[in-house]
Amino acid sequence: MYLKRIIPKMIPAIILLYFILQTMILSSAETPTGTELRYTMSYIYFGSTGSYISHVDRTNGSLDEISPNYFNLNKDGSLALTPATERTFIDEMHRRDISVVPFLSNHWDRELGQAALARREELAGQLAEAVERYDLDGVNVDIENLTENERDLHTDFIRILRDKLPDEKIIGVSVAANPYGITTDWKGSYDYESLGKHSDYLMIMAYDEHYRGGEPGTVASISLAEKSIQYALSKVPKEKILLGIPFYGRIWKNGSGFPQGVGISNMEVQTLVSQYEGSAAFDPETFTPTATIKVKEKDEKLKIRGIPIGPGTYTICYENELSIKQKLRLIEKYDIKGTGSWSLGEETADTWEYYKLWSNGCYFDDVGKHWARDYIIKAYKKNWVMGVTQTTFCPDRPLTRAEASAMLVRLLKLPAQFFEESTFTDVSGHWAEGAIDTAWSHNIVKGVAKDRFEPEAPITREQMAVILHSVLEPYTFYGEGKPLSFSDVSPESNPWSWEAIEHIDGLGIISGFGDGSFRPKEALTRGQMTVIMSKLEKICAK
């Protein structure tokens, strides 16, 4: 029987596992917030409701929350549901494990915002009822263009809303970027400190630095973003701060005949620059791009926000990969909750190849489209794995025996073992010498011979199964009597590894392939190892 065969070997493994679990429990309690994946939300406003799902799906699983425009205001300040409110979309988002937190907006109408706050008790009740009726996950309050006179009323509205919504529902508050601590006019209408006490996060609208009707200039300079974070940190905990990132720019015409500073999506900028053979430059001080286009009389006239682009010279200030990446660096630098963005569907498609990586401090350029991206990010943030270089991870490269040893030592947080002479002659002076000696001393890895380890040799899938089997032996898999799991694994062809493969497969740590094979002799890749580590952590934490 399976249990009878493993009982004599269990006592030393149980001792090792007890030590591992105690270490992991202690380390979990001490884990800083910086090891958690950053939160990503985005507003969705433009386009038809039918396009919303496709906009979300092209984010490649990067979103935690979507905030559609479901909540408007009637003239008397009561709640008005928009035509976009749609249960089908909400259900689809929940199937994708994305929270739906619609935003309530007065659309810059001061009188409308004041009317809403005047009947805040009733409005909060209406919002709570809508959240329950549509199975929503909360409310994002985006009331703008008030003054310091409404500051306390605005805070009280958030307090009332918190009281009326169940604790598990999200309350977000969109707040003006306030890098200089202004206490008057619309920037002064937000009491960051008090709002933070009643909400789950403040979403800093760190954009529209230059705006429609104003002079040409950056929409979101790096200094605006950084100083706005610094101000927010002086008022609220870092885990309640989202940095707003624009997916749009603004366009100005040199001269008259066009609405100055009209909004333009980052996608449209690419189209205009290509259509009119424009030129682009990047300002290293503001860390933002600018484009110039010249439209001739004979050129085809495109439209922006329904407005035709007539002949003339235009200046466009917008966002691109370089400027967005620089802002994303601030998330890790200040260890804040994450980001929000205005608005989904306006970004270029390649944005989602780097967005989640960079917001989590992972600067690898070969992981964005990889199937193991989220596992790689998690393993990297927890310091289980390192990159091959600062910008490459090489997820499909075979994992070496040295790398495997180092990763397991880091994951299990085993205390380092140092010997006067290395256990193996071929690891002396190797970068992973300490990790190999430590893993060997805890009976996690073995050499290929008495004095040889072959640290740079690829580790196979069956070798990893045997290693994990030795660590997880006390976790019994009741597989006795059932058919073997894989078409290419048997006691005859894999006498030293088949039992380990069956055990680890039964625990759900290493699975096979769609054709029913395990491919025991195939090299394990670096990307596959990050998945294994995530599953191993969960097993050991039970």
Could you give the residue numbers annotated as active site? Answer: 144
Output phi, psi for 175, to 5 deg. Answer: -125, 150
- Using only the alpha carbons of the chain, give its radius of gyration: 28
Q: In the chain, what is the straight-line distance between the N-terminal and C-terminal CA atoms, in Å?
A: 26
Q: Residue length, the chain? A: 542
The rounded distance, in Å, linking the Cα atoms of 501 and 303 is 61
Output phi, psi for 525, to 5 deg. Answer: -95, 165
Residue type present at position 62:
S
Distances (CA, A) of 413 to 28, 58, 410: 11, 37, 5
Across 357-367, b (16+ Cβ under 10 Å) vs e yields bbbbbbbbebb
Helices (runs of H) and strands (runs of E) counted in the chain: 17, 18
User: Within 13 Å and on the Cβ side, how many CA atoms surround 410?
Assistant: 18
Residue 8 falls in which region: left (phi positive, over 0), alpha (psi -120 to 50) or beta = alpha
| Helix/strand/coil (H/E/C) assignment for every residue in 41-103 | EEEECCCCHHHHHHHHHCCCCCCCEEEECCEEECCCCCEEECCCCCHHHHHHHHHCCCEECCE
The strand pair at 248-253 and 99-100 is best described as unpaired
User: Within 13 Å and on the Cβ side, how many CA atoms surround 50?
Assistant: 0
Residues 6+ apart with CB under 8 A from 320: 266, 289, 348
Q: Is 400 within 8 Å of 455 (Cβ atoms)?
A: yes
The rounded distance, in Å, linking the Cα atoms of 503 and 492 is 17
